[in-house]
């Protein structure tokens, strides 16, 4: 027999959690406090977990309570969106696009990839969250995201089925603060041998590509620091701590925003970007537009 959630009970719980007390929630809902308490106990009984715990004279959420509140926020948020969408005419309704971006994808690259989704004749309202690939894929599998942007193919022994849509690939550009760049640019790439390097951590796709490229060229840079966050990597690079490499996207903006210069470019060191989805075929209009523009304009690929 299928279990059903009582949304009235959930609403009373959600209101108490947001208002901070049963007394405040009773005023907002125009209900007596005992009525609200009874409904919340009924919800707890149906879920098999306590949602609140006593702390002094007040209530605090339990771990399960915080989890239920997270879902309740989404449920009632979607309810508000539903009412708004129904009241609007078809031409006024905006597309929604929820995107996960792995923290290894450079911020500027993510922006350039997602920009087409936010433009065009029918722009999407985009919600973006960053995180680790495994965590983002887990949410993608439950359809909390429409897609996940990654520079890495997802592979796991889990039963999660994920489809990879290749957006394109590009070479890698090497940067450094002006004084270090002036020293390293003339003899590039051999000049990188023994030079101080700021590298991505070894769990990133770009780090693997760089290691293979260094090995093929017989180059052994000296690692100064490793970063998961490319934004922090660029901050260290801008003060002359070492050279760093990024996908060859928005090169002029990297130079301008971080005060660095280009040492050289490596077209034979490749970085590939993927849109990961839970469905085999892309259907979302904004995703289709983003994919088309990325392949045609950003990466200059044919077909």
Cβ–Cβ under 8 Å, residues 269 and 209: yes
pLDDT at 155: 79
- Pair (246, 286) in one structural domain: no
The model carries a pTM of: 0.67
- Cβ-count burial of 183 within 10 angstroms (0-12 exposed, 13-18 middle, 19+ buried)? middle
pLDDT at 11: 92
pLDDT tens string 62-118 = 999 999 998 888 888 878 767 766 665 544 446 788 999 998 898 889 999 999 888
Split into its structural domains, the chain has a count of: 3
Question: 295, 271, 275, 294: which is closest to 283 by C-alpha?
Answer: 275
Q: In this structure, is the dihedral angle defined by the CA atoms of residues 209, 212, 215 and 217, taken in order, positive or negative?
A: negative
Residue 25 forms part of a structural domain: yes
- Pair (15, 75) in one structural domain: yes
- Pair (249, 177) in one structural domain: yes
CATH number of the domain that 133 lies in?
3.40.190.10
Q: Once rounded to an integer, what is the mean pLDDT over residues 128-157?
A: 87
- Pair (70, 103) in one structural domain: no
CATH number of the domain that 51 lies in?
1.10.10.10
- Pair (27, 83) in one structural domain: yes
Residue span of the structural domain in which 264 resides = 169-272
- Pair (44, 71) in one structural domain: yes
Decide which of 28, 57, 87 is a domain's last residue.
87
| Inter-axis angle of helices 33-47 and 7-19, nearest 10 | 120
- Pair (173, 265) in one structural domain: yes
Residue 263 forms part of a structural domain: yes
Q: Which residue has the tokens 């002036």?
A: 182
- Pair (268, 182) in one structural domain: yes
């Amino acid at each position: 027999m299928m279990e059903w959630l009582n949304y009235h009970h959930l609403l009373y719980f959600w209101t108490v959690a947001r208002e901070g007390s049963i007394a405040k929630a009773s005023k907002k809902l125009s209900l007596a406090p005992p009525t609200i308490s009874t409904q919340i106990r009924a919800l707890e009984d149906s879920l098999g977990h306590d949602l609140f715990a006593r702390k002094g004279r007040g209530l605090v959420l339990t771990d399960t309570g915080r989890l239920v509140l997270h879902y309740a926020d989404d449920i009632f948020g979607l309810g508000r969106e539903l009412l708004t969408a129904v009241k609007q005419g078809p031409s006024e309704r905006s597309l929604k696009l929820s995107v996960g971006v792995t923290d290894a994808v450079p911020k500027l690259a993510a922006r350039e990839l997602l920009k087409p989704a936010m433009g065009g004749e029918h722009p999407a309202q985009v919600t973006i969250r960053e995180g680790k690939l495994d965590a983002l894929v887990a949410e993608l599998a439950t359809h909390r995201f429409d897609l996940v942007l990654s520079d890495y193919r997802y592979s796991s022994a889990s039963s999660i089925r994920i489809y990879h849509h290749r957006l394109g690939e590009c070479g890698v550009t090497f940067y450094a603060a002006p004084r270090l760049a002036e020293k390293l640019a003339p003899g590039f790439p051999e000049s990188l041998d023994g030079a101080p390097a700021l590298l991505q951590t070894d769990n990133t796709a770009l780090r693997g590509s760089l290691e293979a490229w260094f090995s093929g060229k017989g180059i052994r840079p000296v690692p100064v620091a490793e970063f998961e966050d490319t934004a922090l990597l660029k901050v260290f690079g801008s003060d002359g701590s070492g050279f760093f490499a990024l996908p060859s996207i928005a090169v002029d903006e990297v130079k301008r925003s971080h005060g660095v210069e280009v040492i050289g470019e490596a077209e034979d060191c490749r970085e590939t970007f993927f849109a990961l989805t839970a469905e085999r075929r892309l259907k979302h209009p904004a995703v289709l537009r983003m994919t088309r523009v990325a392949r045609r304009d950003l990466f200059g690929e044919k077909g």
